Structure 1
């Protein structure tokens, strides 16, 4: 790799850069200074999870000034238009980055040349340290947890090295032509073929570890997960669920509506992989509804004066007014500034703002604008919408679905495929993610004149809305998008693509995981080379090796060049700056920067001594804040170097490989015992959690986590209370059971105190009332739909008497300390059976609670959906006889149909 500054981007070339070569004197001096250091075990993260607090104390130095890493909800939902035409978006981080940077005091100079941590104890709450409960590994001895994690990671890497060598040796052997005499006729049909696997006498394949799960001989030929029969015809399959064969009067056969599944993984591969389709037909896109002007009595106020605005300016004012309850955004100074600039510009362009007499009102100060009347109007409309009956909501949804139905699918090479984001984004205020500098700017309405349609040559081009025309129509069969336009905020292109469950997206996922599997063959050579180059004389080589080490060991993203004036200054490994890396002797590195989506990335990791030394070298004076750590390396250069090992290899493949390979290795240690389904699910999640920790996939504790845990705790207590009442009923019908089973058996659980019981009883009574009221409302809606009269309030009052009786019963029990037996023909045996079922439910719920608590700071979903090969999950479910629904939701089962179906009959598949 060239080390000349000419090869570097201009932004990097203008900053202080490291010397092209590392002098031997500098190298020896650093080695000598650290010769007697006792290093911590490398390769693990010291902290578990991201920063817990988004407020940085300005009384302490905070040189990064970065935002908290915040939990996010899925963005895969369909767009729901609000009454103002805006799109629902998730709230972002509160205080702007620039503001925090201005208020942060300059850090005092360190006495030593080692850095001080950027996130001080008083500046922000650090992530918790790894603990036994979170990691879920055996700590029966006195060995420190981080040492155990490091050993576990080293063991997995050693196994990977052996496997890589074995795979290459096997492939090399297979390529060598075999003499004809050495090949028996029954073993080979052609020269060079590999011998088939030996079979056991009973005809089954020899036992081997597959997918990381130990295969048991006793069930090698028995499918452990019940699955619907599948008929394969020409690469297609029809689902033959038993439910579709049931016939009933007045009911349509479900099989008639079951769509065919295109089994692309069984279909012959295309000669030209760049050609994505031969024929393509679709109906275009759905535009958001047009803007509805505000009523005459609803006005934006400026210094108390009602303003008359153009329709265009009024719509923009409505964007801000409709979201006043989102203080997180509207109180953000950057959001206010950007909105005010765009709003006042629109006002000027469209004739200005006028008072009731038609006089021009000059809008100079944002603080004098009052959006409350607009907010109250939209809020009232939202409340009215929410108050509609279930029947009305259902009818509205059905009408909306009917309008959108033609746009939800397309015809791709003669088969129906699901379209993903067929709705054009509505206009509104841009929020961005994290500390985006353009938050608050107006997202303009997208018109047909901005949209390019991609469709087959022979297909009918969808008609644009009346009075409009498309920007262009093209027939690019090497593209997988159906429509495209450019948004006005960042100038980015937006594409209408196929849905996640489509065959095209499935093939993309498949290729991603296959590429990670391919990396298995080369991982040992890559690691050996970068460990060697950590000592390289050329600075460019040493920086590249250090970057690959960090990407491989700690799942850092590679990072790309950013236009910092127009984009949030997010970074990755190659774009790390001086202030983002803090060195803590002997070999701990603290990363603190804004990562993907402007989410704060904070982590303390233990690195190899040579890596620590290199980072110290890369930060050597005269470098200071703002200078690049890897000043002689770009992401492009890094990925180009990686392609020397295998085609298409890039930095991001390491995340997928490490997660999948680690999961496969961990699953190898599992045994299929007689555990319950929930215990097996927890077993899988424990492995997934270790993958997330060992591969550095972390998340923020959700804001609702504590409330959810409290809710689960109350449900467990409720079951324990129910169990205690059932035991008391046993005493009511047979008091002798107290002597037989012992007084302790009938005692109240220590978790249940009197105050909680009273509160729980009130909850049960109110719960029953709510259920009765909802049932009454539903029954009335059904009567009206059938053209009959509604039931009167008297009927509801009679039904509610059951809740009143329950309340009286609890009061009697509290007074007499006796529970009267309930149910028809009560017996001790019936109650004992009920208690057994309650015990099972309590155990299951406690396992769920333990699982959820362990996962609170670990991104299990991220690992399972994006980085762990879904085929590993499918095989685990199959081998351990766990329904796949326990791991994949309906949406994910559709997304990973290829994984579920492709290895249905392949017991020998392994990552």
Structure 2
């Protein structure tokens, strides 16, 4: 690939700080070579350690001053997982806002999870060497780092071979198609007709190759098409249009929809977009669109007069608006990681004082003005305790309500929300992801976000823009309000949009993850990655060559491409650091984010996406190490850019010269999917092994992908407790298995001679002390179960208007626990176990023992899986980066139900992959 930069005077990407020279002279190159250590480099391509740099272990060879403080890491906040489209597409957002909107999306399971927690008992996170990697973790003399590097190198070598073969195949097919067209034209046959026949034939071939039917073998346009097929829209549009003309109330179409569904199945017919030909103009996302707007949070309810905020020990009177802000903080006193965070406190208090000033300030009960000056965390002048207790009492009361009351409340809420949960998209009923406007509260953010604690203001209808079809009835805003705007942009996929006040990001109401729009976006993302496999060898060869380029811009670009390809770094975008968190990616790395250790170790320490600390140590190619040292060469210092002659835009423009629409983020998807494909193909599946073992084989491959692609996470705080609990379950089943075998001797004592004494021995990890504790646990567990059942029975009787059972009934039921306790005492004394159940026989008891054995094996596999996953984010790879069709094909080959790999949510999200591939075991990435 020819260099994009041929001029010596390549302009600087960013002009702040000290700049790199435009060219690198041979003298400078030789001088840098001499300055580098002659130590032997280690294996490249893998992380060698997770955890903060210790001052006595690491030293930045180019650091201008030692002892410079590192950014303090913070643990990420626990958040719900949302399965969002990972394409980060700006399509559908207003043009002026699209770049801004990029930063609002949150990945469900970010692979830039915080790698180190400074407050985690002062311990470093586990080394990669402790990770369970199946066949890669055998104990021998070869270091694990070397094995992983060799594995990755072999996969990349296979990728290069595949790329050459794919390009040769494409060239051959193109040549054959060209010859056929010339022949048909020479026969004076109209050109349109054979083209149509070729298209239809290609569709069948495309389905076999890709798992999805296509209209032709031509390369797909690169824009993300959310549009339904023309034929489907044409059939559905008249009906939708007719309804739009007659509908007078926004919620009416939902009601009519349910009525029609009762009369026939046509409206519920599934839209199988993956079986449909591609629409020519995929910039048009919809032809008709109807929806009922958004759900606003309920209005604020004022505190009782007895519940007050206290300042300096005295209750204060507040206006409604400022009282609501006070409740935001007061209601979350239990969340100590937030309310005890100095940044959180500072931002909240600043906003609180602003609202106080706006509303006229605080007063005492006599009406005298109180000036609130200090937050004072050590001796809280602002005391939110009464507010917290009020909301806790309400929460506890809600939890304690009878199940029937909770169910009735949910049914009422569902009835109100039902009209907003679906829209009509080209006449089809499509589920909306989340139609709710975010409620007001305090912004929490992730990692070290500088705006944590800032007040998120209540969103009013006057801030919301509605996107809807021209002929559709506009949903009515809440009484007394109006929408900011109503537009009819059929190139956008969002239904409503507003701007939040904290970061200025735009929030959107979109379709659900299982919708055709989102499914097509996922499909395009993975197809883009599949196309990259045809060009990956040329790209890697070119950037490897340009690592030695004399032009600084080319050398910086090649080095960035190496880091993005090898270590799954995000490209990074420039930000307005005055208004946003100072997060960076590869292209925006600064001097202080990179530490170098001879001969080839590079340590990255920066805030990545969502303000999550990215800390990792890598062994890199020797030339890459040399380049990074050069990019940090004096007079550069802290605050200066490493890649000062490169931007993400320039990098992506260069990548698009290899392949239309190729950007840096495609490498993450390609590397994960290609690696997973290679590992799964190496598996030799024995159909006779249990399903649990097949699942573990898949998870082992997924784990290797996560490590090779750098999808790490911090070990969860509750991991050890969970593993201990699982270990107790396994030991409990082993004890149950031993008791079952002892029952065999009670039925037939001669079995000891037939089966041998070893068969009836107690497992080595079960000792007498543990057995006594376990027996007591089983007795207490039975007591708890009986008591809960008694309470539930009484609740039901009261609900039915019957008299509850007396306490003596509970005492009678609890006798079962006493009998069990007595039975265990007898068994411990006599060393014999009486056979249980109706008509126990040796055969029945042997069958029970075998079932327990199988359950024990499955639990032990789960335990090994969990231990291996403790520092690896499997979900990140499986949900966002591994082509779901690979999982579908493996499930078909291994004869494992897809439910074992994909939850209900993921099965809905990846329905296109499951149904397009089906049982076709020949599909390949």
Normalising by structure 1, report the TM-score.
0.85
Cα distance change of structure 1 residues 353 and 737 upon mapping to structure 2, 3 Å threshold? same
Task: Return the alpha-carbon distance in structure 2 between the equivalents of residues 118 and 26 of structure 1.
Answer: 40
Structure 1 residues 558, 17: CA separation in 2 closer, same or farther (over 3 Å shift)? Answer: same
Residue 867 of structure 1 corresponds to which residue in structure 2?
A: 881
Aligned 1:182-581 pairs, distance under 5 A: 259-367=268-376, 368-581=381-594
Distance in 1, Cα, partners of 2:109 & 2:790: 41
Moved more, 549-558 or 786-795: 786-795
Q: How far off its partner does 1:330 sit?
A: 0.9
Partner of 2:171: 172
Matched, 1:695 2:709: yes
Moved more, 307-316 or 693-702: 693-702
**Normalized per residue, which structure has more helix?**
2
Match for 2:726 among 709, 712, 722?
A: 712
For 1:160 and 1:607, the matched residues in 2 are separated by 20
Distance 1:578 1:287 in 2: 46
Residue of structure 2 in register with 1:104 after alignment: none
State the distance in 1 between where 2:502 and 2:881 align.
31
User: CA deviation digits over 1:671-719, x for unaligned, max 9?
Assistant: 2212110000000001111111111111111122111111110100110
The equivalent of 1:156 in structure 2 is: 155
Q: 1:157 to 1:485 in 2, by over 3 A?
A: same
CA distance in 2, matches of 1:360, 1:384: 36
Q: Report the CA distance between 1:907 and its aligned residue.
A: 3.9
Deviation at 1:742, TM superposition (A): 2.9
- Separation of aligned partners in 1, 2:646 and 2:762: 67
1:142 is matched with which residue?
141
What SS does the aligned partner of 2:814 have?
helix
Q: How far did residue 126 of structure 1 move?
A: 5.2
Matched, 1:751 2:765: yes
Alignment check: 8 A CA contact 1:175 1:192 kept: no
Which SS does the other structure have where 2:638 is aligned?
Answer: coil
**1:347 touches 1:353 (CA, 8 Å); kept in 2?**
yes
Tell me, in whole angstroms, the C-alpha distance in 2 between the residues paired with 1:426 and 1:267: 40
User: Unpaired segments of 5 or more residues in structure 1?
Assistant: 79-88, 98-116, 198-204, 212-232, 237-251
Q: Could you tell me which residue of structure 2 aligns to residue 75 of structure 1?
A: 81
1:741-890 equivalences under 5 Å are: 741-786=755-800, 788-890=802-904
- Report if aligned partners of 2:889, 2:920 keep a CA contact under 8 Å in 1: no
State how far apart, in whole Å, the 2-side matches of 1:680 and 1:720 are: 23
Corresponding residue for 2:90?
none
CA–CA distance in 2 between the matches of 1:565 and 1:792?
A: 68
Change (3 A) 1:122 1:581: farther
Kindly indicate whether the alpha-carbon contact (under 8 Å) linking 1:92 and 1:329 is maintained by their aligned counterparts in 2. Answer: no
CA contact (8 A) 2:295 2:437 kept: yes
Contact 1:62 1:123 in 2 (8 A): no
Displacement after TM superposition at 1:887 (Å): 0.4
Indicate how the Cα distance of structure 1 residues 873 and 181 shifts in structure 2: closer, same or farther if over 3 A, else same: closer
Matches of 2:392 and 2:266, distance apart in 1: 41
RMSD value over aligned CA atoms?
Answer: 3.5
Tell me the residue number matched to 2:27.
25
Distance 1:488 1:857, change over 3 A: same
Sort the Cα spacing of 1:301 and 1:864 in 2 relative to 1 into closer, same or farther, 3 A: same
Structure 1 window deviating more from structure 2 (648-657 vs 897-906): it is: 897-906
1:153–1:694 contact (8 Å) kept in structure 2: yes
Q: Secondary structure at the match of 1:137?
A: helix
Residue 62 (structure 1) shift: 6.4
Q: Tell me if the contact between 1:316 and 1:343 (Cα under 8 Å) persists in the aligned partners.
A: yes
Once the two structures are superposed, what CA deviation does each residue of 1:152-206 show, in whole Å capped at 9, x if it has no partner? 1111111111111111111111111475799999xxx969999999xxxxxxx9x
Structure 1 contact 453–472 (Cα < 8 Å) conserved: yes
For 2:313 and 2:108, locate their aligned partners in 1 and report how far apart those are by CA, in whole Å: 30
Distance 2:119 2:369 in 1: 53
Aligned to 2:41: 39
Structure 2: 5+ residue stretches without partners:
58-65, 85-105, 188-192, 212-230, 235-260
* Shift, 1:796, TM fit: 3.1
Deviation at 1:611, TM superposition (A): 0.3
- Inter-CA distance 876–330: structure 2 relative to 1 (3 Å threshold): same
In the alignment, the residues of structure 2 paired with residue 473 and residue 121 of structure 1 have an alpha-carbon distance, to the nearest angstrom, of 51
- Partner Cα distance (1:255, 1:196) in 2: 32
DSSP-derived class of the 1:133 partner:
coil
Cα distance in 1 between the residues matched to 2:161 and 2:701 = 22
Residue 568 of structure 2 contacts residue 710 of structure 2 at CA under 8 Å; is this kept in 1? Answer: yes
Residue 64 (1) aligns with residue 83 (2)? no
Alpha-carbon contact 1:235-1:267 (below 8 Å) kept: no
* Cα separation, 1, equivalents of 2:516 and 2:109: 33
Task: Give the 3-state SS of the residue equivalent to 1:416 in structure 2.
Answer: strand
Q: Give the distance between the partners of 2:682 and 2:697, measured in 1 at CA.
A: 11
Residues 567 and 196 of structure 1: is their aligned pair in 2 closer, same or farther, counting only changes over 3 Å?
closer
Q: Given the superposition, is the C-alpha separation of residues 234 and 442 from structure 1 closer, same or farther in structure 2, using an over 3 Å criterion?
A: closer
Query: Partners of 2:17 and 2:670 in 1: how far apart?
Result: 35
Tell me the distance in 1 between the aligned counterparts of 2:302 and 2:81: 29
- Which of 599, 605, 623 is the matching residue for 1:592? 605
C-alpha distance in 1, partners of 2:707/2:461? 47
Cα-to-partner distance string for 1:8-67 (whole Å, 9 max, x where unaligned): 46xx312111111111101012234558542212222213x56699xx9xxx95633241
Find out whether 1:909 has 2:923 as its counterpart. yes
**Whole-Å Cα distance in 2 between the matches of residues 458 and 91 of structure 1?**
37
Further displaced range: 266-275 or 281-290? 266-275
Q: Distance in 2 between matches of 1:210 and 1:46?
A: 37
Distance 1:517 1:675 in 2: 32
CA distance in 1, matches of 2:781, 2:632: 63
Query: Counterparts of 2:351 and 2:200 in 1: how far apart (Å)?
Result: 70
Distance 1:890 1:689, change over 3 A: same
SS in structure 2 at match of 1:130 = helix
**How much has 1:770 moved relative to structure 2?**
2.5
Structure 1 pair 335/614, CA: closer, same or farther in 2 (3 Å)? same
> What per-residue deviation string (whole Å, max 9, x for no partner) do you get for residues 524-559 of structure 1?
111011001000001110000000000000000011
Would the aligned equivalents of 1:176 and 1:192 in 2 still touch at CA under 8 Å?
no
1:738 correspondence with 2:736: no
Q: Distance in 1 between matches of 2:196 and 2:523?
A: 29
Residue of structure 1 in register with 2:225 after alignment = none
Partners of 1:733 and 1:821 within 8 A in 2: yes
| Residues 366, 798 of structure 1: alpha-carbon distance in 2 compared, 3 angstrom cutoff | same
CA distances 1:374-403 after superposition (whole Å, capped 9, x unpaired): 111111111111111222222211111111
The alignment partner of 2:616 has SS state of strand
Deviation of the 1:888 alpha carbon: 0.2
**Alpha-carbon distance change, 294 to 418 in structure 1, aligned in 2, over 3 angstroms:** same
Q: Which moved more, 1:743-752 or 1:321-330?
A: 743-752
Query: How many residues were matched structurally?
Result: 824
Q: 1:196 to 1:258 in 2, by over 3 A?
A: closer
Q: How many Å separate the matches in 2 of 1:815 and 1:162?
A: 70
- The answer to whether the aligner puts 1:655 opposite 2:668 as a matched pair is yes
Q: Rate the CA distance shift 1:289–1:482 in 2: closer, same or farther, 3 A.
A: same
Matching residue of 2:735: 721
- The whole-number CA distance in structure 2 between the counterparts of 1:17 and 1:906 is 55
The DSSP-based 3-state class of the residue aligned with 2:665 is helix
Which whole-Å CA distance do the structure 2 matches of 1:138 and 1:672 have between them? 20
Task: Identify the match of residue 655 of structure 2 among 629, 642, 650.
Answer: 642
